[in-house]
Amino acid sequence: MEIPPPLVLKRPLFVPIKTLMGPGPSNCSQRVLSALSNPVIGHLHSECLQIMNEIKEGIKYIFQTSNDATMCISGSGHSGLESALCNLIEEGDVVLVACIGLWGHRAADIAKRYGGDVRLVETTLGHSLTINEIELAFKYNQPKIFFAVQGDSSTGVLQSNLKDIGKICRRYNCVFIVDTIASLGGTEFFMDEWFVDVAFTGSQKTLGAPPGLTPISLNTRAIDCINARKTKVKVYYFDILLIGQYWNCFNMPTIYHHTISATLLYGLREALAQLCAEGLKAFIQRHQQCSYRLQQGLKDLGLEMFVKNANERLPTITTIKVPFGIDWRKVIEYAMRKYSMEISGGLGPTVGNVFRIGLMGENATLERADLILNILREAIESSKLDTNEKSKI
């Protein structure tokens, strides 16, 4: 053995306890954490398939859908985005992407990799797209696929007119893909009623499961579109027709597609069970109440919201303008150093301009909203002092 064992692995594992109030992951409940240490079982054992079935029913509930093709991708939220796009796009397909922040651009990057003829419909940063802007883009581009983010975690913008967009998609015979990673559970989402053909979400946001499994659902329109492909789906690992067979979506014998992480299934199953026990309506209301409390408190602190229009604000992740003369990095570092509390900076187009505060899952309580307001105030004050002190030197 020429390469010796690393000394660093002789030390014990160190995991700090933190309050995760950035854009995700959020804190898991004790019930979820405890479930994670259950023994691993086989990826095709009947008990594992049973848990997968239970998760499937939970996902149908949170998406408000009766789609048979409801399952999880074994990967982080990005893998849901990639799966949706790579299964539906063939070389040359016109893909229209709604951009209200980083995630539209990320989707565009991925769609291009699969040979999509990608067109963007953009708006001013901090705003959502109007139905007129979208309809105009449909007329001009005649897309085969339309991609929209319900809530963009980089800007904190909520695209609240999905229902009307769904109607346009049907009119133009276009497949409608919606990314609900940052929004689901914090705002209404009716997959079937709104004519959404493909939806996916994140496990580690409002759901409060650990990252690593990504719920996704496709209706028969989307599945028909995949079945009609002239070429094989590029990515075996993300091939929905194969994953769907593993998840018992098509009334066919279960196949081995990959070795699913039993551990992550336990966590997601328990997170969904907790949400079901609370009820989706109450769950969403709780998130919205906390968001209002936070917004009111921020106003009282004299801070300015990044998203001007109140009904375009994502309830789960709130973006706040960094006040003039304040070093955003210092504010974030202060909260983390003194309180092990995560407040996040911007991402993509908002880097340096905003703070991002997440109130999701376990953290969506009025107490936590008040707590973060206090810490944010203190951190900003402290950051001001720093600046003054330096100027004295």
Q: Which of residues 112-171 bind a second copy (CB under 8 A)?
A: 112-114
Is 212 among the residues that bind a second copy (CB under 8 A)?
Answer: yes
Closest distance to a second copy from the beta carbon of 309 (Å): 27
Secondary structure (DSSP) of 325-390: T--HHHHHHHHHHHH-EE-EE--GGGTTTEEEEE--GGG-SHHHHHHHHHHHHHHHHHHHHHHHHH
Facing residues of 354 across strands?
321
Is 308 among the residues that bind a second copy (CB under 8 A)?
Answer: no
**CB 196 within 8 Å of CB 162:** yes
Which residue in 182, 196, 205, 183 sits closest to 268, CA to CA?
205
Which residue in 256, 260, 218 sits closest to 240, CA to CA?
218
Which residue in 329, 326, 355 sits closest to 153, CA to CA?
355
Closest distance to a second copy from the beta carbon of 170 (Å): 19
Closest distance to a second copy from the beta carbon of 355 (Å): 15
- Residue 140 or 236: the one with the smaller Cβ distance to a second copy is 236
Count interface residues toward a second copy (CB under 8 A): 96
Q: For tokens 């109450």, what's the residue?
A: 282
Q: Looking at beta carbons, which pairs linking 235-238 to residues 24 or more positions away fall under 8 Å?
A: 235/82, 235/83, 235/86, 237/74, 237/75, 238/73, 238/79, 238/82, 238/83, 238/86, 238/87
Closest distance to a second copy from the beta carbon of 301 (Å): 24
- Residue 79 or 295: the one with the smaller Cβ distance to a second copy is 79
Binding region for a second copy (CB under 8 A) out of 2-10, 117-125, 155-163, 380-388: 2-10
- Residue 143 or 208: the one with the smaller Cβ distance to a second copy is 208
* Strand bridging mode 317-321 / 354-358: antiparallel
Is 352 among the residues that bind a second copy (CB under 8 A)?
Answer: no
Is 295 among the residues that bind a second copy (CB under 8 A)?
Answer: no
How far is 363 from 19, CA to CA, in rounded Å? 8
Is 356 annotated as a binding-site member?
yes
- Residue 89 or 157: the one with the smaller Cβ distance to a second copy is 89
Neighbours of 357 (CB within 10 A): 25
Closest distance to a second copy from the beta carbon of 274 (Å): 9
Q: Where in 226-285 is the site for a second copy (CB under 8 A)?
A: 232-238, 256-264, 266-267, 269-270, 272-273, 276-277, 279-281
For 112, the enclosing helix (H) or strand (E) is helix 102-113
Is 104 among the residues that bind a second copy (CB under 8 A)?
Answer: no
Is 49 among the residues that bind a second copy (CB under 8 A)?
Answer: no
Which one of 71, 88, 110, 354 is in contact with a second copy (CB under 8 A)? 110
Which one of 91, 130, 173, 193 is in contact with a second copy (CB under 8 A)? 193
Is 185 among the residues that bind a second copy (CB under 8 A)?
Answer: no
Facing residues of 44 across strands?
none
- Residue 264 or 359: the one with the smaller Cβ distance to a second copy is 264
Q: Is the dihedral of CA 323, 326, 328, 334 positive or negative?
A: negative
- What is the side-by-side strand order in the sheet with 214-218? 69-73, 214-218, 198-200, 175-179, 145-149, 94-99, 117-122
Q: Where in 52-71 is the site for a second copy (CB under 8 A)?
A: 53-54, 57-58, 60-61, 64-66
Closest distance to a second copy from the beta carbon of 268 (Å): 11
Is 330 among the residues that bind a second copy (CB under 8 A)?
Answer: no
Which one of 52, 72, 82, 332 is in contact with a second copy (CB under 8 A)? 82
Known binding-site positions for substrate: 356
